[in-house]
Amino acid sequence: MRKYMLMIVLSVMFVLSGCTLGSTIEDELSNVLSEMHEAEKTYRDGLKDLTKIEQTEQNLFNQTMELSQEENEKLKTNIEEMKALLKKRKIHIKEETKSMESAMKLVSDIDKIEKKSEGDTKAEVVKLKNAIDHRYQTHTIFVDKYEKLTKLQGELYEMLLVEEIDITKLEQKVEALNAQNDEVTNAIKEFNEATNSLNETKDAAFAYFKKNKSK
């Protein structure tokens, strides 16, 4: 049987340092970005714990797949532990989602800044807002795919508890799980790229504000 790999979520941090103050637009944007950064604290703090849980669960899964049919009790014990770890991961993802949704609500404050901006300054604000929107959109997609992955993992664990396992159905489940894991991998890549793009857009915007002393 092919073994699946749980995805370790290692997202690039939303870098907010280096914002140069000195104008109304700069001040207001810097304040909003700082508030977003703070709102994402739960998300950032939970990354290390989530990664640790995933690694523990993966190791336990690998060990479980090496058990013989005679080690039925150990199999059941391992699966119950894996289910408990899976539950913890689901809780982490829900907390992460709340954190990111809280930060996403602050985009409305950038809308207000955009409305009172003009010319090239307005264009820079729009670019920044679009980059922020895109980043949160990619995170929403990641969460959706990750939740589908955990659902498949839970179904696999239940199948492993059945004494007379249908090998064909089991292999189909593992294949579906592997395919979904690939989707999660791609979603994380897109989120990281969106985060990098946002940081670049932010740096360019504040460089423009500093150069032009925009108000």
The per-residue pLDDT string of the chain (215 residues; one tens digit each, 9 = 90 and over) reads: 334 444 433 343 344 433 333 458 888 999 999 999 999 999 989 888 998 999 999 999 989 888 876 788 898 999 999 999 999 999 999 999 999 999 999 999 999 999 988 999 999 999 999 999 999 999 999 999 999 999 999 999 999 888 788 889 988 998 999 999 999 999 999 999 999 999 999 999 999 988 887 44
Q: What pLDDT does residue 165 have?
A: 80
DSSP state of 164: S
Q: Give the DSSP per-residue string, 145-205.
A: HHHHHHHHHHHHHHHHT-SS--HHHHHHHHHHHHHHHHHHHHHHHHHHHHHHHHHHHHHHH
Residue 47, C-beta contacts closer than 8 angstroms, at least 6 positions apart: 9, 10, 11
pLDDT at 214: 43
Rounded Cα gap, residues 20 and 17, in angstroms: 9
Q: What is the pLDDT of residue 14?
A: 42
Query: With 0-12 CB in 10 A as exposed, 13-18 as middle and 19+ as buried, what is 15?
Result: middle
Cα 83 vs. chain centroid, distance in angstroms?
21
Two structure tokens written together for 54: 């995933």
Side-chain half-sphere exposure of 155, counting CA atoms within 13 A: 15
Q: Where are the domains of the chain?
A: 24-212
> Residue 78 and residue 61: Cα distance in Å, rounded?
8
Q: What is the pTM of this model?
A: 0.85
What's the CATH number for 24-212?
1.20.120.570
